[in-house]
Chains A and B, each alone.
Chain A
Amino acid sequence: MTPPSTTAANPVATIPAQSAPDRRAPATRLARLLDPGPPTPLHPTDDSGITAVAGHIDGAEVVAYCTDATSMGGALGAPGSDHIIRAIAEAERRRCPVVGLWHSGGAKLNDGVASMDGVGRMFAAMTRASGRIPQISVVLGPAAGAAAYGPALTDVIVMSDSARVFITGPEVLRSVTGEVIDMDRLGGPVAHGRRSGVAHVTTGSEEHAFTRARRIVGLFARPGTYDLASVEAEGPGQDLRALLPSSRRRAYDAHVLVHAMLDRDGADTPVFEEFQADWARNIIVGIGRLAGKTVGVIANNPFRKGGCLDALSAEKAARFVRMCDSLGVPLVVLVDVPGYLPGISEEWDGVVRRGAKLLHAFAESVVPRVTLITRKAYGGAYIAMNSRALGATTVLSWPEAEVAVMGPEAAVGILHRRQLAASPEDEREGLHAELVERQRRTAGGVERAVALEVVDEVIPPAETRVRLARALAAAPPARGHHTNIPL
């Protein structure tokens, strides 16, 4: 037996081969996803290749289905698709999340168009349910073709280290395009965690994948209620601004801020499930808990590209906003953004088209959504990050944050260019500093933003948790009436 890998959470038990249940069997996989105890089957046992059940995760009701990887590589025919369609309908009826466990080569070749038709009807069912109930996919092996688009239509995709997702596999690639690549590099967790952004969560072992899926489902299935008393009873909070570098120019990892802001579990770990953590890292998105309530968090990350918005990060955030809005998950938006990333490649990659998605997503959104400007918000990026103009519920700010069309140095360089050029060289630096200071005071200081009512209130950083929670709790709950199209 191969020794357990160092990334496995649990040691592999050595079981004699002949008595080991096939760990890929749907019953086994479903048992590891769900709470202990027999789940309720949603259909009689058959050879459709799909098992669909109703069960629980952490006591919350869920529906789950699993492809049978032990039979024909989990290929999906019309009967199997019908089970998935009925499972989704059952989840909608119960108003609970539905989880798909995927390990499948795609549509059953032998059944021809019938299986493609079934798969297509499954896609339609997922789309109709989109935004009505949370749909989570856990990919545990190859998931090709139809089995890739299934998860792609759901809200969250978790990939274990054995997951391989692609439309066209290595064999066909080799013969048609001449490209040679193995399944792992083509469609494994690194490909989809880092390059494509297809995977929201990549994990090590299958066990890890189930653990993460359970946590994510738990946050959706139990959105909780605001417990302001408990947050207020925490007393004077940590000065969150002290977590940032003292120099305004220095980048920092915004994860530190996100973690400090959210509730902690029994093991003193922040309750935060980040999505697409290794892709478009200049923005952080994920769900967590604040004052007992499930919230979505969006935060610019200055550590990456200075926290600039760009085509990919805007798209990543836009999809997350719409997912939360459609499922009624309130949003906390932490803003520290210098602008959009300049560059020809950005323009040609469609920062205009993809950036517009973020503007649209926020403007369309009706969930409670509170913005906190921590250090700065400049220009178009200020608008895009859940500004007052786009309908933010509340806009808070830390003291000395800057809200401006551009930073004071850049502004001075434009507004006072002639004056500076005309000044004696030995006085220029001093003049520049003075002009920058004046610009910062008059144009960019947060006081001006408050006067214009684009910032509602300046708050002490130590009160961040309680003020965010209060602002969210005060807003009437609302939920967008739209699907979560996979942007």
Chain B
Amino acid sequence: MTTTVSAVIPEPARSTSTPYGGPTTDARPEEDLIRAEIPGTVLEVTVTVGDRVPEGGVVAVLESMKMEIPVIAESAGTVTRVAVAEGWTVRMGDVVAASLPDGAPTEENTAHDPA
């Protein structure tokens, strides 16, 4: 099975004291990009590649405005990549994760039950 899912590794060229989560440019067309709605620091990543998330499911928790704010998946699907790690700073709109919505055609559907 070809590995088209990947966890993004921090790029050394952009390393500063706080690494930034950048927008991923090589998203597959059928993937949903789950973006931060608010700038903040990643407190916790709550999913890993391959996890199923329901619509409204939390993929990460950001700290912002002195609050713990969830990053929410808009549609049910399977996580195909995680673009950030704990401690990373994200800007509004930065991609936090990507998922393949349920029902999208893929060879990897065999790995999980389409519940």
The residues of A with any CB-CB pair to B shorter than 8 Å are 247, 249-251, 302-308, 338-339, 341-343, 345, 407, 409-410
Contacts and interface: CB of A to CB of B under 8 A. Distances in A.
Contacts of A303: 69-70, 72
Nearest to A337: B65
Nearest to A342: B39
A338 B65 contact: yes
A338 B70 contact: no
Contacts of A305: 37-38, 69
B67 A302 contact: yes
Given A305-B38, A341-B38, A250 B68 contact: yes
Interface residues of B, number: 12
A306 B67 contact: yes
B38 A249 contact: no
Interface-centre pick from A249, A305, A306 (highest chain B CB count, 10 A): A306
Contact of B92 (A250, A345, A409): A345
A410 B37 contact: no
A251 B66 contact: no
B18 interface: no
B66 A249 contact: yes
A249 B67 contact: yes
B110 to A, nearest CB: 24
B64 interface: yes
Given A251-B67, A302-B67, A304-B37, 15 more contacts: A247-B68, A249-B68, A250-B68, A251-B68, A251-B69, A303-B70, A304-B72, A306-B64, A306-B65, A306-B67, A308-B38, A338-B67, A339-B65, A343-B39, A410-B66
Contacts of A343: 39, 92
Contacts, number: 40
Contact of A302 (B69, B72, B92): B69
Contacts of B38: 305-306, 308, 341
A313 B58 CA distance: 22
Interface string B16-45: 000000000000000000000111000000
Contacts of B72: 303-304
A251 B69 CA distance: 5
B66 A407 contact: yes
6 contacts: A251-B69, A304-B72, A306-B65, A308-B38, A338-B65, A409-B66
Interface string B55-90: 000000000111111101000000000000000000
Contacts of B67: 249-251, 302, 306-307, 338
A407 B69 CA distance: 16
Contacts of B92: 343, 345
A189 B68 CA distance: 31
A409 B72 CA distance: 27
Nearest to A307: B67
A306 B39 contact: no
Contacts of A338: 65-67
A373 to B, nearest CB: 16
A95 to B, nearest CB: 41
A448 to B, nearest CB: 19
A276 to B, nearest CB: 16
A486 to B, nearest CB: 25
A304 B67 CA distance: 11
A459 to B, nearest CB: 24
B76 to A, nearest CB: 14
Contacts of B65: 306, 308, 338-339
B38 to A, nearest CB: 5
A408 to B, nearest CB: 9
Nearest to B36: A305
A99 B55 CA distance: 33
A339 B70 CA distance: 17
B70 A251 contact: yes
A130 to B, nearest CB: 33
Which 8 A-B residue pairs are closest in the complex by CB-CB distance? A338-B65, A306-B65, A306-B67, A305-B38, A306-B69, A251-B69, A250-B68, A407-B66
A302 B92 CA distance: 16
Nearest to A343: B92
A407 B67 CA distance: 11
B60 to A, nearest CB: 12
